Amino acid sequence: MKDNVLMRIAARWNMPFMLIFALYTQTHGELGPGGGFQSGVMIAAAFIVYGMVFGGHEMRRIVPRWVTDIAAGLGVLIYAGTGVYCMLMGYEFLDYTAIMPGNPGGGAPWGMTSVEYGVGITVAAVMITVFNEITEGTAPEDNTIIMEKQ
């Protein structure tokens, strides 16, 4: 698909908007609908569109496998780490009061934000891993998706 000008331009120009919207959804997480999961999917989608147009190997040049491997674990660690932090401060697991003990309810946005970032990172990493697992090795040098061959 990378020989098609329209596709190339569309993929390249859409990517920043997709990422920005993903970040918006991410930061909006504790205030309204949406949050970590959705934004993780959008981040992954931005990279996957890029990978579909320019080829999986090209995408893996930007996001190498070791990055997604570590990010997948790191996200859940952020989530669980938030819980453990609350525990260490002498509250229950994931009791956000621990983050701002003086201000009832004040810790919740911070706690949820950090939990949502954890979710977002893991979801994005796992989505990209799934794409990698499906496309890797389907074509010798160009991993553009099978659609092109038809």
Partner 1 sequence: MELIQRNLPALVVVTPLIMGLITSIIGRRGLGWYLAMGTTAAVLAMSIQLLANVLDSGTQTVTYLMGNWPTPFGIGYVVDPLNASVLVIVSIISAVVTLYARKSVASEIAHNRLHFFYALWLFCITGLLGITITGDAFNLYVLLEISSLSTYTLVALGRNRNRRALTAAINYLVLGSIGACFYLLGIAYLYMVTGSLNIADIHDILANKVFPTWSTGAPMYRTTVIAGFAFMAVGLSLKLALFPLHGWLPNAYTYSPSAVSALLASTATKVGAYVFIRVIFTLVGVNFAYTLLHTDTVLMLSAGAAILFGSWMAFRQTNVKKLLAYSSIGQIGYITLGFALGNAGGLTASVIHLFNHALTKGGMFLALGIVAYRTGHTRLQDLRGLGRKLPFTMAAFTAGGLGLIGVPLTAGFISKWYLVSSCIEAGRYEMAAIVLVGSMIALLYTWKVVETIYFGKRDENAPVVKEAPITMLVPVLLLAGGSIYFGIDASLTSRVATAAAHFLLGGAP
As measured in angstroms, the least distance from the Cβ of 103 to partner 1 is: 16
Q: Which is nearer to partner 1, 15 or 67 (CB)?
A: 67
Q: What is the nearest approach in angstroms of partner 1 to the Cβ of residue 142? A: 27
Question: Whole-number minimum distance, CB 93 to partner 1, in Å?
Answer: 4
Q: Which tokens sit at 114?
A: 């950090």
Q: Which is nearer to partner 1, 84 or 134 (CB)?
A: 84
Helix extents (H) in 3-106: 5-27, 36-54, 56-62, 65-88
Which residue lies nearer to partner 1 by CB, 97 or 135? Answer: 97
Judged by beta carbon, residue 51 or residue 111, the one nearer partner 1 is: 111
Tell me the backbone φ, ψ of residue 101, rounded to 5 degrees.
-60, -30
Query: Shortest distance, CB of residue 81 to partner 1, whole angstroms?
Result: 8
Q: CA 48: distance to chain centroid?
A: 11
Burial (CB count <10 Å: 0-12, 13-18, 19+), residue 67: middle
User: How many CA within 13 A on the CB side of residue 105?
Assistant: 0
The contact set with partner 1 (CB under 8 A) reads: 69-70, 72-74, 76-77, 80-81, 83-84, 86-88, 90-97
